[in-house]
Amino acid sequence: LVHSLQKKVQLLSHDQSKLAKDISRIRRNSTELSAAMASLQAASSTAYSTQIDSQLRQLEDRVLAQSERVRNISSCFQSVDKVHASTVELFRDLRSLEKKVDRGLTDLRKEVSKCDFDVATALSLAKAVRQDELTRRASLAGLKNDMLQAKTELEKTRYKILSLEGVVLNTTVSSRKAGSDWVSQEVKIANLEVGSTRLSKMVDRNSHKLAQLARSLDKAVNREVLDEWKRRQEDLANILRNMTEEVPKIRKNITRLEGEVEKIEDNLPQDCSSNISHTTSSQRSGVRLIHPRNAKKARQVFCDMETDGGGWTVVQRRRDGSEDFYRNWDDYKQGFGDVSGEHWLGNDALHEITSSGNYSLRIDLWDVSGNYKFVEYDHVAVGSEAQRYRLEVLGYHGNASNALEYHSGMAFSTADRDNDFSSTHCAVYYSSGWWYNHCHLANLNGLNLNGPHVSFADGIEWSVR
């Protein structure tokens, strides 16, 4: 919008300059006409007076018309000035609004960060208060236990005193000489009993006070934590309300972007053969995006634009053994590896591509000595997952054997899905996923044994018969 307004301001400035030039030119013409009229009036004679008067009237009319035009242009010029001034003012307002929006977003981000910090601080504070509360409760519990133990000890002492009183009483009866001692002992025992009773009451009273103190402490701590928590919750609620107001705008932008992405995907080629054109960039092999007609989303593939005329969508590549092809059903379903290196494009992708039209299959083979062979099939199709990705190939030609025909009509097998016709679990025995029959004549997903070897067909195989 700002860019558009800038363009309009430039156009108005240009029109303003043009109008100023027109006004200057008209004023010059008016001056010249006035001078001509004066000259003609001075040089007029009786013989030509009538003709001159007519010409003068015409000139006066022209001057009046020119003057009217000048007034109109001046009025238009003033209108243009007003529009220009309004546009400049609007431009300034937009700039100011942009700055305010930027400041508002910055302030909002700061507030969110501050609230996050405050929430973390509150949680830390609550945790510390809770820990203090637990510590105080433990201390109170220990103090209460100590008081109970003291009370128990006092009860034991009281019992001992009572026992001692009985002993003293018996001693008094049997000894007449200890009369004064008996009175003294009785007084001491009475004093001990009074002291014991006082201690018991003190213990009870202190236990009651400790219980009240514990309850008050619990209430104070819980109220403090609760108030702090409520305040933090209110702050968070305000932030959420502010952010919620932005959600419809964000959703609208997301919907718009999704629509644009869908349009872009709809315009993508459905395979690498659709990328063939006369441009140099499209004739080079490389990674590209395609969107098969039956696919829900676009896929990244490697397009071979050089082999046999180009336009080949690479679905599998073995090169250096960097990728493990002993995978489960889901891995082969989704695909794995790097499309520019060793990879399996995915059984879902194979089904989406081959079900979108009539496709041919080309396989290029090199042995460890560098000898090259190839094979092509005029028709290839891979079924859906419900059909267990059943393979179909027809129309063989090439200088390698027709080994893959043995696997036509077979479902795909992996270590966790045995769909072959053999009593042996071929995918486990040969350490790879493939369209096994009884088990295979060709297996391009076998182990990479890195050079000459003696094996039992568990490597990358293509039968010569």
Q: What is the pLDDT of residues 260-312, one digit of tens each?
A: 777 777 788 999 988 665 454 557 899 999 999 888 888 999 999 999 999 99
pLDDT score of 218: 59
Higher-confidence residue: 85 or 413? 413
Label residue 356 by pLDDT band (50, 70, 90).
very high
Task: Look at 345 and 450; give whichever has higher pLDDT.
Answer: 345
Specify the DSSP element, H or E, that contains 247: helix 179-266
Nearest to 437 by CA among 452, 450, 447, 461: 461
Q: Which residues does residue 443 pair with via DSSP β-bridges, in sequence order? A: 461
Contact 443, 384 (CB under 8 A): no
- Is the Cα torsion angle 309, 310, 315, 320 positive or negative in sign? positive
Which pLDDT score, from 0 to 100, does residue 183 have?
42
Per residue in 414-426, pLDDT (tens digit) is 999 999 999 999 9
The predicted-structure confidence for 16-62, as pLDDT tens digits, reads as follows 677 777 777 777 777 777 777 677 666 555 545 667 667 767 777 77
Question: Is pLDDT of 371 > 70?
Answer: yes
Specify the pTM: 0.49
| Maximum mean pLDDT: which of 26-30, 166-170, 334-338 | 334-338
**Model confidence over 234-255: pLDDT tens digits?**
776 676 666 666 667 777 777 7
Mean of the per-residue pLDDT values for the chain?
A: 76
- Cα dihedral 450, 454, 458, 460, rounded to 10, equals 40
Q: Is the pLDDT of residue 257 over 60?
A: yes
106-114 mean pLDDT:
71
Residue 100 burial (CB count, 10 A): 10
The pLDDT value recorded for residue 101 is 65
What tokens were used for 364?
A: 């290029």
Secondary structure of residue 374 in the 3-state scheme: strand
- Candidate from 4-18, 64-78, 82-96, 172-186 with smallest mean pLDDT: 172-186
CA distance 430 to 324: 13
Lowest mean pLDDT among 110-114, 146-150, 257-261, 342-346: 146-150
**Second CATH level (architecture) for the domain 315-462:** Alpha-Beta Complex (3.90)
Domain limits, the chain: 2-112, 128-263, 315-462
Residue type, 339: V
Residues in the chain: 465
Contact 277, 269 (CB under 8 A): no
Q: Is 437 helix (H, G, I), strand (E, B) or coil?
A: coil
pLDDT at 388: 98
Give the pLDDT band (50/70/90) at residue 436: very high
Hey, what's the torsion of the CAs at 67, 73, 77, 78, to 10 degrees? 60
Can you give the pLDDT at residue 35?
Answer: 74
| 311: nearest Cα among 343, 279, 284 | 284
> Between helices 49-174 and 2-43, what is the axis angle to 10°?
160
Which contiguous run of DSSP H or E holds residue 313? strand 312-314
pLDDT at 350: 98
Here the tokens at position 8 are: 């309009």
Lowest mean pLDDT among 72-86, 89-103, 168-182: 168-182
Question: 176: pLDDT confidence band, cut at 50, 70 and 90?
Answer: very low
Q: In angstroms, rounded to a whole number, what is the distance separating the alpha carbons of residues 220 and 217?
A: 5
Surface-to-core class of residue 335, CB atoms within 10 Å of its CB (0-12 exposed, 13-18 middle, 19+ buried): buried
With CA atoms as reference, report the closest residue to 228 among 308, 126, 158.
126
pLDDT number for residue 254: 72
Q: How far apart are the C-alpha atoms of 302 and 314, rounded to whole Å?
A: 6
* Interatomic CA distance for residues 294 and 455, integer angstroms: 41
Tokens of 394: 């027809």
Tell me the mean pLDDT in the region 331-356.
97
